Structure 1
Amino acid sequence: MTDQHDAEDEKTVRPFAAFLQEQSGGQLHDELSSRLHDLIEAVIETGKAGSLSLKVDVKPIAGTDGRTLTVTDAVTTKVPRIERPKSIFFVTDDGNLSRTDPRQPVITGLREVEPTPVKQLRSAQ
């Protein structure tokens, strides 16, 4: 009698990977694969952490025997970003931004100087 009871309690659990490949006609599996690949590239490029999350909502369909369900999914990623370069600006008296410091005097009359040839060094023996 114990053997029959144990056999009834055993359930076969279907692999989650099989669900991923069938959900949304396989689109969920494809999206997860693509997003994971993009995430790995961004983590390597930036040296910063990222994450990928899968949310699965399961709801019974009203008016059925309770064994018919709708399954929806949502995939979110937190991809690390490369920091954009910063620029330094100065505020003018008019309240505008300028790349040159308005308090710094402008130097005029500068010219480019030709480089002088370097003499060949002699070795001491």
Structure 2
Amino acid sequence: MLTTTPFNQNLVHLNKGTLNDELTEHLAELVKAVRETGKAGSLTLTLKISMFNKANEDVVKISPVVACKLPEGERAETIMWTTADGDLLRNDPAQNFTELKQVEGIDSQRRTLPEQEAAPLRKVQ
């Protein structure tokens, strides 16, 4: 038969109950991030336990440390060109740039071609 207080009952009393609330929030945030990214994360609780004072061995102080590592989503990659002096350019400096502009006086409405019946496929030997 267990004579010590269960861990979860002690957890509720640490930091006047705020530690339990904090862990609950971190756990929900972690679960959401794992579902969104499909990657693993972690929630770590470390309890540092030390003597409160040397005069009384029956009293300890407990210092909790919570670490929540959320998984990171994929970041988009960017392709850029470089110069000898370390600058980054969005466009290839060796390629000519053509400034496009709208030509006035031309009907710019979209046109659709009439549908044509596709020719039957033939076997090629």
TM-score (norm 1): 0.76
- Residue in 2 that maps onto 1:116: 111
- Residue in 2 that maps onto 1:56: 47
Q: Which has the higher helix share?
A: 1
Look up the equivalent residue of 2:113 and give its one-letter code.
V
- Cα deviation 1:62-83 (Å, max 9, x = unaligned): 2433001111111101111113
- Residue in 2 that maps onto 1:5: none
TM-score (norm 2): 0.76
Pair 1:109–1:68, CA change in 2 (3 A): closer
- Residue in 2 that maps onto 1:88: 79
**Number of aligned residue pairs:** 114
**Is 1:74 the counterpart of 2:50 in the alignment?**
no
Look up the equivalent residue of 1:80 and give its one-letter code.
P
2:115 and 2:54 map into 1 onto residues whose CA distance is 97
What is the SS of the residue equivalent to 1:72?
A: strand
**Is 1:23 the counterpart of 2:18 in the alignment?**
no
2:36 and 2:17 map into 1 onto residues whose CA distance is 29
**Stretch moving more, 65-74 or 54-63:** 54-63
Identical pairs, percent: 32
CA RMSD of aligned residues (A): 2.7
Structure 1 residue runs without a partner (length 5+) = 1-9
What is the SS of the residue equivalent to 2:49?
A: strand
Pair 1:32–1:107, CA change in 2 (3 A): same
Which of these residues, 29, 32, 38, is aligned with residue 38 of structure 1? 29
